[in-house]
Amino acid sequence: MNFRNVIFILGWVLNMEAVLMVPSMVTGLIYQERAVTALLWSALLCLAIGIPMSRIRRKNTHFRIREGFVAVALCWIAISVMGGLPFLFSGTFTNPVDALFETMSGFTTTGASVLTDVEVVPRCIIFWRSFTHWIGGMGVLVFLLSLFRMTGGSHINLMKAESPGPSVGRLLPTIQSTAKVLYIIYFGMTVLMVVLLLLGRMPLFDALTISFGTAGTGGFGIKNDSLGSYTVYQQVVVTVFMLLFGVNFNVYFFMLARKWKNAFRCEELWWYLGIVAVSILTIGWNIRGMFDNLGQAMQQSAFQVASIITTTGYATTDFNLWPETSRSMLVLLMFVGACAGSTGGGMKVSRLVILLKTVKKELSQFLHPGRVAKIRMDGKVVEHETIRSINVFMVAYLLIFSLSVLALSFDGTDMITNFTAVAATFNNIGPGLEQAGPATNFAMFSNVSKLVMTFDMLAGRLEIFPVLLLFVRDTWRKF
């Protein structure tokens, strides 16, 4: 383990976090809020720790897989711990566990909250809370790689550890250029959404914070009813952009490069759109009796399906009161998730498609043992290494999920609450069902349960392996 490389990256991430607190401080100055000092002291602490760490001398700047995964996991823990300081210093929370839970939920774009009344919180703190979604959506290390040319190392290993999906590769010759083009697309789509919301007469503060949550597929609401009090136009804009941010960003890159065949040959995209369409129609028809007309039912269905499958977690209504068929479909969508290479969470559509094709291949070989069958995605053969990695991921996923549900059961809450609370945090969604539904929050859980779900949020965002490597002894050996 090259500890100097890890410390160097940690230092730069903390420095960057301090700079990223500046827009929230400006918000505090605009609204003349005393809580701006909480952000200032937090930023100064980040710099006090980060500057010495980022100045450490490194003999070997090469990043192996091990350093990449460990650096990413530790960076996410560090920014969540330091990012929770404004909540504590401003008095928003007095419990450090609550502050950590809220910030981890923000950076991992989960959107699960322990705030009982978000509307009384200072606006600069609310801005920071929502901005953590935007920062974490594309990834803090991807942002760092887009700004700095870090020569001498295999920095694809940093991107692999942070970017969601079965496989990650370069779109352009260098990692810096790849990271930069991803962030340009991300920023451009966010700005476009802000403009469209402003055209719908949404206040600028609301447009910014809601766009941050949508872009990062996070879902922190700035009102107690989430997005329930906004107009139909504003809800439709959010619906469309939730779905857009759930698409693999490679598709947008190919479209900008006018490589239309590559863009629309993406098999995962068509599966994603098909699942969304079937879910909207089924749920919309199932809940038609709960709304004034079928059109309104379909609009509400579309919003909630988009919110859940992209793991955003916004709500316009209490879907916990919907019929069992609709609730069951939403729970299933929690596990499906968005596309690989998007800002969404969950298992990812491509991973599930490959698993289905693996089952089909095995059934075929039972009937025809001599046949050599290959699994293909987008016309390309899926490597055995990718299939093996997906199988291991599923085993680890089920093990962590089961143990987490068991841990929450000691709080005495019901099975549906525990199951969907873990599903909502592990898949980075936000709301679950029953006591963890969209009309409530996670404040009623014990500190131990909150820490379990905090771990789940981090493991879900980093797709398990970078976090589990922290607990492997060989990870820390110097060889």
Q: Which two structure tokens, joined as six digits, stand for 218?
A: 């996070």
Residues with Cβ within 8 Å of residue 80, at least 6 apart in sequence: 100, 103, 104, 107, 458
Q: Calculate the alpha carbon distances from 434 to 65, 151, 320, 329, 470 in Å.
A: 41, 51, 6, 15, 34
State how far the Cα of 87 lies from the Cα of 93, in Å rounded to an integer. Answer: 6
Hey, how many other C-beta atoms are within 10 angstroms of the C-beta on 274? Answer: 11
Q: Which two structure tokens, joined as six digits, stand for 431?
A: 């709301």
8 Å CB contact between 224 and 117: yes
E runs forming strands in 343-442 = 376-377, 380-381
User: In 230-266, which ranges are continuous DSSP H helix?
Assistant: 232-245, 249-256, 260-264
Burial 13-40 (b: 16+ CB within 10 A, else e): bbbbbbebbeebbebbeeeebebbebbb
DSSP string, 43-89: HHHHHHHHHHHHT---S-----HHHHHHHHHHHHHHHHHHHTHHHHH
Whether 218 has a binding-site annotation, put simply, is: yes
State how far the Cα of 466 lies from the Cα of 71, in Å rounded to an integer. Answer: 9
H or E element: which one contains 385? helix 384-409
Q: Which two structure tokens, joined as six digits, stand for 16?
A: 């960057």
Whether 343 has a binding-site annotation, put simply, is: no
Distance of CA 27 to the CA centre of its chain: 25
Whether 311 has a binding-site annotation, put simply, is: yes
8 Å CB contact between 459 and 393: no
State how far the Cα of 228 lies from the Cα of 224, in Å rounded to an integer. Answer: 9
8 Å CB contact between 272 and 346: no
How many residues would you count in the chain?
479
Distance of CA 42 to the CA centre of its chain: 24
Whether 316 has a binding-site annotation, put simply, is: no
Tell me whether residue 292 is exposed, middle or buried, using C-beta atoms within 10 angstroms of its C-beta: 0 to 12, 13 to 18, 19 or more: exposed
State how far the Cα of 308 lies from the Cα of 353, in Å rounded to an integer. Answer: 19
**Helix pair 96-107, 123-138: axis angle to 10 deg:** 50
Q: Which residues are annotated as a binding site for K(+)?
A: 109-110, 218, 311-312, 428
Bind-site residues: 109-110, 218, 311-312, 428
